[in-house]
Structure 1
Amino acid sequence: MNPATPALHQAAALLLGYPGPDWPARHTLVRDCLTELATPAAAPLLRFCAAVDGTPVLDLASAYVRTFDRSRRRTLHLTYYTDGDTRRRGSTLAALKAHYRAHGWAPPENELPDHLPLLLEFAARCPDPGSALLRDHRAALELLRMALTDHGSPYADILRAVCDTLPGPSPADRAQALALARGGPPTETVGLAPFSANPSLKPSAVRGTGR
C-alpha cells in the first residue's frame, strides 16, 4: 500500500461529507494537508478543492443534495449498487457494522454503515481492513465514479482518487462495472434495475439523518 493512501482516504472522507457550516474550514484544512503531502495521487482531490473554492456554502450544499440524494445512480450508500432495496441489503449493512466494531471502531448511529465517507474514514483509521472493504465495494465505487462523470460533477475527481488507490485498472466502461457488480446479484426483484432506468428518489430515501 502506498504510505499516502490512508491520508488520501481521510481527505476524500472529509470532502465527501455534507458541506455544512464547517465547510470553509474543512476545505482549507484538507487542501493544505494535501498540498503538504506532495504526492501525485492527491491531484484529483486538489482539482476538486480548486473547482469548489469560493463556492458559497449554501450553493454547494444544494448541489450536494442534487448530486447524491436525488438519483439512485449517484447515491453514496454503496450496498445499494449491489443489493438494491432487498432484505439482503439489511444483512449486508449489519455485517458492515459488525466488521467496524470487530476492529474497534464505532461509526455514528445517525448514518448507515455503507455511507462512503464512513468507509473512507474506517480505511484511514484501519488501513488494511478498510482497504479490503473498499476493494469489496469496487463495483459500486466505479459505478458512482462513472455516474458523477456523466453528471459533470466535480465530485467525480474524489471518486477517481479513491478508485486510483485500489489495485488493478478500473473497468473500461459501465458494462464492465455492472458485470463486476453482478458478481453478487440480489435474489429479489429490486437490485440493479435502478441503474438501467435512472429514476429519481426522494431525498429521505438515501440521505442520512446527521446533517
Structure 2
Amino acid sequence: MITRSELFQLASLLLTYPDRELLDAGDELRAAAAGVEEYERFLDWLLTGTAVEAQRHYVETFDLRRRSGLYLTYYLHGDTRKRGMALLMLKQRYRAHGLQLTGGELPDLLPIVLEFAAVAGPGDGEAPLRQHRQGIELLRAALHEVRTPYALILDVVCAALPQLTDDDLTALTALAVDGPPEETVGLGPDMSLVEEVSRCTP
C-alpha cells in the first residue's frame, strides 16, 4: 500500500520533464505506482511512446500554455509584488526544514512543492499545497480541458488534499473568471475553463 509521502513523491517525479533518466526508470516507477490506478494509467501512456513524443507533449502542455503552468504562485498573484513575497516565504519554509533548492528553479514549481510535502510530512510540509489549492485546482481543470494524461496525476494529488469548502469553490470560480492579478488575457467568451473547474470539483 502506497503511503501518503510516497504518493506525493511519485507525483513530484511524474510531473518533471521526461528526460532519459526518468524514462529509463520505467520499471521502478511502475513498481512504486502499483495499486494507484491513475498513476498506472499515466505510466502506460508515458512509457508506450517515444522519448521525443513524451518530451514534446510535456513542453506543449506546461511550457507553452500559461493556463497550465506549474508555477503555483502565478495563479493567485500573477506577476505582482505579492508573488515575490510568496516565493520568499516558500524559500524560508524550505530552508527551515533543510531543503535547499538547486538549479535555479523557483520554489513554487509544483514538483518541488510536492517533494517538500513528501519530505516534511502532513503538517508543515503539506501547508504550501493547501495554501495554493486554488492554483492546483485550476491547473487540474486546464489539464482536463486539453485531455492530457497529466491530469491523472493532479486527480490523485487533489483527492489527497482536504475537500474544498463552499467558500473555496466560490473563490476558485472567481479566480477562473478573472484570472491572476493584472492578467490582461481572459478566458474567452466560451468560459471553457470555468466549466472544466465545475466538472472537476465536487
TM-score (norm 1): 0.79
Q: Provide the residue aligned with 1:204 in structure 2.
A: none
Q: Provide the residue aligned with 2:126 in structure 1.
A: 131
Give the Cα separation in 2 of the matches to 1:68 and 1:175: 26
Which of 121, 130, 136 is the aligned partner of 2:115? 121
Contact 1:122/1:130 (8 A) holds in 2: yes
Q: Provide the residue aligned with 1:74 in structure 2.
A: 68
- CA change 1:175–1:60 in 2 (3 A) is farther
Q: Provide the residue aligned with 1:111 in structure 2.
A: 105
Q: Which runs of 5+ in 2 are unaligned?
A: 189-202
Which of 159, 172, 179 is the aligned partner of 1:164? 159
CA-CA distance at 1:170 after TM superposition = 8.2
TM-score (norm 2): 0.82
Which of 132, 137, 140 is the aligned partner of 2:135? 140
Give the Cα separation in 1 of the matches to 2:125 and 2:77: 20
AA at the equivalent of 2:40 = L
Q: Provide the residue aligned with 2:187 in structure 1.
A: 196
Q: Show CA shifts across 1:185-209 (max 9, x none).
A: 97xx615x54525xxxxxxxxxxxx
User: How many pairs are equivalent?
Assistant: 186
Q: Provide the residue aligned with 2:197 in structure 1.
A: none
Give the Cα separation in 2 of the matches to 1:137 and 1:115: 11
Q: Flag as ranges the 4+ runs of structure 1 deviating above 4 A.
A: none
**Structure with greater contact order relative to length (CA < 8 Å, sep ≥ 6):** 1
Q: Provide the residue aligned with 2:194 in structure 1.
A: none
CA-CA distance at 1:51 after TM superposition = 2.0
Q: Which piece of structure 1 moves more, 17-26 or 63-72?
A: 17-26
